[in-house]
Amino acid sequence: MGLSPDELSARVRKGDPRAVARAISLVEDGAPAARELVGQLHRHGGRAFVVGVTGAPGSGKSTLVDQLVATVRGAQLTVAVVAVDPSSPFTGGAVLGDRVRMGRHSDDPGVFVRSMATRGHLGGLSQATADAVAVLDAAGRDVILVETVGVGQDEVEIMRLAAVTILLLVPGTGDDVQALKAGVMEIADVFVINKADRPDADRLMEAVESSLALRQAGAGEWQPPVLKTEAVRGVGVEAVWAAVGRCREHRGVHDRAGRERERWASRLRDSVARRAGVLVAERIPADDWARILSEVMARDIDADAAADRLLARAFSGRGQ
Amino acid sequence: MGLSPDELSARVRKGDPRAVARAISLVEDGAPAARELVGQLHRHGGRAFVVGVTGAPGSGKSTLVDQLVATVRGAQLTVAVVAVDPSSPFTGGAVLGDRVRMGRHSDDPGVFVRSMATRGHLGGLSQATADAVAVLDAAGRDVILVETVGVGQDEVEIMRLAAVTILLLVPGTGDDVQALKAGVMEIADVFVINKADRPDADRLMEAVESSLALRQAGAGEWQPPVLKTEAVRGVGVEAVWAAVGRCREHRGVHDRAGRERERWASRLRDSVARRAGVLVAERIPADDWARILSEVMARDIDADAAADRLLARAFSGRGQ
């Protein structure tokens, strides 16, 4: 499809699945046309309900997401899944994954599944995911489920896209608990103990509840519930979705614009920081890079002090 | 210890473990004194052999590291372990972990173990780890093992600290393979199939070997070996350490300064980008942030276009 951003944008807004897929590929590749496209689509977004699902590898994210898709479809809403899977060079990663994952929903036009691959430029994953959500939002999807491993800076940024975030924990996996950063804990709105038929489920539930009880909750602030599921058998899934809905309603009443504003402010800060880094690096002449790098390697100066010196020059418009 | 950076630096260089611990806490907190300290210590570094160990949660990193510590000590070398564990609010994270992890090495002054916690400021983890390595290097440790989960931008940056990197994979865990980004694959110098007594070990080994065979290896380039271990029983560990040594030697012959230079160049670029983001964000007046944020929320402009506009003003010295 050699469409202009205008044409592609128009087709995306009609919900054409091929146009949606094409648009997401563009943003994933960081193609120049992608920025104009996202700029246009952003004007028509803001309607979709974006829900994050995060947890360590093996916590059952895909299974829960699959069940949530069925629940959402049962309510006659359209849904998109954006799975941020670090792609594997062994399995062929994202593309194969999407077909497998569609599974029982593969004949349902109300379900759109897309994995985001890294395609080499690691830092761009959170940006590409934000753009993919913007595409799906403008395409009129009612619910967008964003699934990601809850570790790392990228993932925390990605989770900021969600209005409500579900965190999966699994009993008896020390690794699982270890793998979850405090930052992710703080982002979660609904805690789910998955594989709740395992022996340590109650203990984990109590641990999470005591941890939550220690938080200083402000007046009118949402109190995250802790729920049990066996996602494989569908047990507890409806209750999770109901809790997600309650959280959304609660925020609608108590915190209408504040959280939304904080989310966009955070997006904007990230974007400024990322772009500033690129812009400034480009302003530094190759000779300066080479000279100071040699000094770092000769151990005359450490890397951060060297960076400060380069920046001082870049900002003073080539002084000294 | 209310020491000046000079005094602390002198004690670190004598290898005083309390001073080393104190210095790492300073860099972890991002304390102002930390920058001066690292600047001083950098001059005295460059001798330690830094080895990275990466793999998904549950792949057996800590177990392999524990075995490698024993191997290194057997060769009469001193060793430090820097474990970059996303800390858990449940378990108390890093501090408890260190005591447990010391285990059989806890009476050996030739072994120093330290977990790096995130302490809230997520983006700073790679910087703090780089600084901790600089401290341990200046303290005269012969070998520094850096252990981290192989997912995310932070972790890839951390792995750049290592002269040689070991990647652990586990048979039969689709998650494990999925969790490893292509970027991490490319960084690895020694591939280890851990828990090699599991049924699919041979299949995984073949998959990794075919994947490696597809790479375009330049003349004189190191060819990463694929080895099997059962780290819990110590099986295969000596062979892993031998491969690490061969990789180091190979690089010493074929690629003396190139790789080292590329590593520092990468550190320097990261540092410039990170600091530039902070500097530029500080230059933007609060009024400008607020105004453009409202435009983003009103959907007049998307976040990235808004960031570009803020940057254009910041760089033109408040024009328009």
Q: Which residue has the higher pLDDT, B151 or A49?
A: A49
3-state SS assignment for residue A309:
helix
Residue type (1 letter), A221: E
Are A299 and B42 within 8 A, CB to CB? yes
Beta-carbon contacts of residue B186 (< 8 Å; ≥ 6 apart): none
Q: What is the pLDDT of residue B12?
A: 97
Query: Would you tell me which residues 114-173 of chain A have a C-beta closer than 8 angstroms to some C-beta of chain B?
Result: 118, 120, 122-123, 127, 130, 134, 149, 151-156, 173
Q: Is the Cβ–Cβ distance between B94 and B188 less than 8 Å?
A: no
Are B279 and A311 within 8 A, CB to CB? yes
State the smallest CA–CA distance between residue A2 and chain B in angstroms: 24
Q: What is the pLDDT of residue B174?
A: 57
Q: Is the Cβ–Cβ distance between B155 and B148 less than 8 Å?
A: yes
Let me know if A183 is exposed, middle or buried by CB neighbors in 10 A (0-12, 13-18, 19+). Answer: buried
The segments of chain B whose pLDDT lies below 70 read 1, 57, 85-103, 117-124, 150-156, 173-185, 215-217, 255-257, 317-320
Let me know if A263 is exposed, middle or buried by CB neighbors in 10 A (0-12, 13-18, 19+). Answer: middle
Let me know if B140 is exposed, middle or buried by CB neighbors in 10 A (0-12, 13-18, 19+). Answer: middle
pTM: 0.70
| Mean pLDDT of all residues in A46-62 | 86
Domains in chain A (CATH in brackets) are 45-255 (3.40.50.300)
Q: Complex ipTM above 0.85?
A: no
Which span out of A215-224, A310-319, B14-23, B173-182 was modeled with the highest average pLDDT? B14-23
Q: Name the pLDDT band for A34 (thresholds 50, 70, 90).
A: confident
Query: Would you tell me which residues 212-271 of chain B have a C-beta closer than 8 angstroms to some C-beta of chain A?
Result: 257, 260-261, 264-265, 267-269, 271
Q: What is the pLDDT of residue B118?
A: 55
Segment A136-194, tens digit of pLDDT:
999 999 999 999 875 556 666 777 889 999 998 888 765 445 444 455 667 789 999 99
Segment A75-116, tens digit of pLDDT:
999 999 998 865 433 333 343 455 455 667 878 889 999 888
Segment B54-73, tens digit of pLDDT:
887 678 888 999 999 999 99
Measured in Å, how far apart are chain B's first and last C-alpha atoms?
52
Residue of B nearest to A149 (CA): B179
Are A271 and B297 within 8 A, CB to CB? no
Segment A262-284, tens digit of pLDDT:
888 988 988 888 888 888 888 89
Q: Assign residue A114 a region: left if phi > 0, alpha if psi is -120 to 50, beta otherwise? A: beta
